[in-house]
Amino acid sequence: MRVWRAGGPRRRTRLPGVRIDLHTHSNRSDGTDSPAELVRRAHAEGIDVLALTDHDTTEGWQEALDEAERTGVTLVRGIEVSCRFAGYGVHLLAYLPDPTYRPLQRELRRVLDGRNSRLPATLQRLRDLGIGIEAEDVRAVAGETAAMGRPHVADALVALGVVADRKEAFDRYLGPKGPAYVHRYAADLETMIACIGEAGGVSVLAHPWASRHNHSALDEHGLARLTEVGLAGVEVDHEDHDPAKRAGLRALASRLDLVTTGSSDYHGTGKTGHHLGCNTTEPAQLERLLDLAGCAAAASGRHTPEVLGVSRR
């Protein structure tokens, strides 16, 4: 077993043929698999390196780690942080930060509190629209999540027979243009990128050009500015990016010397068309990311999560 970690910014570990999926969700946020189930499924699907990146929480890390050690999957501990940039929502993948770093904890707590206070307001709006939905209906479908949010409201609407699936729930009620949409707190993107660095981790922008987000500010100028404050990479290969967007983003990342990743954004049965390993990250790109994380950890002096590497199965 190899160990990549803080001391190794110049160490090169070759990983030919390794399958790497760097963006997945468990039921600790809005996925449907428990962290252990997620890792077992990844193992069964032949994923060698898996990142668990639940929204705004590290709650699933330990369970996933225990299962990763049992199965031999290499786990990269991450978080998908809800941020705002130029007035619009942006998702930031934070890999390997020290989860005990107080400014990071405070900010994640604010985001989660914002999500929790949004829920009653959303339910009230739905009731104003004549839909009989209560918090218990949402809790009943949310399981053990630390971040009860709109996907769970959508599931409750499905369970109540109001809509057929999550997509219809978002299209008709819960999306930004829907009548039950409630604005909520998100972390400032540039501040969060800096915070992740101070916590000894690295930042990658999740699906920056997904059409469901407004991404006009994430052009070359915007990404250059984010690179200056410490952004390490961009998620290029994602189901929300068509081939033209992938090609454009890859070229831009190359000009800005950003790491490029590819991932499934797997949510179990909570999101269709995102099966594990449907997009993967090049081993050389993961090595760059781990090198940068090693540098950040060394510079911060924080106690950051290790990445236990196993040889290719």
The nearest distance, CB 265 to Zn ion, in angstroms, is 4
Residue 206 lies near Zn ion (rule: CB under 5 A): yes
CA Rg value for the chain: 19
Q: What is the Cα–Cα distance from 15 to 282, expressed in whole angstroms? A: 9
Nearer to Zn ion, 100 or 211 (CB): 211
Nearer to Zn ion, 91 or 152 (CB): 91
Q: What is the Cα–Cα distance from 209 to 170, expressed in whole angstroms? A: 19
The nearest distance, CB 266 to Zn ion, in angstroms, is 8
Write the single-letter amino acid at 263: S
Binding mask 57-96 for Zn ion (x = CB under 5 A): -----------------------x----------x-----
Nearer to Zn ion, 21 or 265 (CB): 265
Nearer to Zn ion, 80 or 137 (CB): 80
Q: What is the Cα–Cα distance from 204 to 233, expressed in whole angstroms? A: 4
Residue 213 lies near Zn ion (rule: CB under 5 A): no
234-273 residues near Zn ion, rule: CB under 5 A? 265
Nearest to 8 by CA among 293, 311, 305: 293
100-129 residues near Zn ion, rule: CB under 5 A? none
Q: Give the nearest residue (CB) to Zn ion.
A: 91
Residue 28 lies near Zn ion (rule: CB under 5 A): no
Q: Contact at 8 Å (CB) between 92 and 206?
A: yes
Q: What is the Cα–Cα distance from 36 to 291, expressed in whole angstroms? A: 27
Residue 30 lies near Zn ion (rule: CB under 5 A): no
Angle (CA) 47 295 285, round 5°: 35
Q: What is the Cα–Cα distance from 181 to 210, expressed in whole angstroms? A: 19
Nearer to Zn ion, 19 or 55 (CB): 55
Q: Which residues bind Zn ion (CB under 5 A)?
A: 80, 91, 206, 265
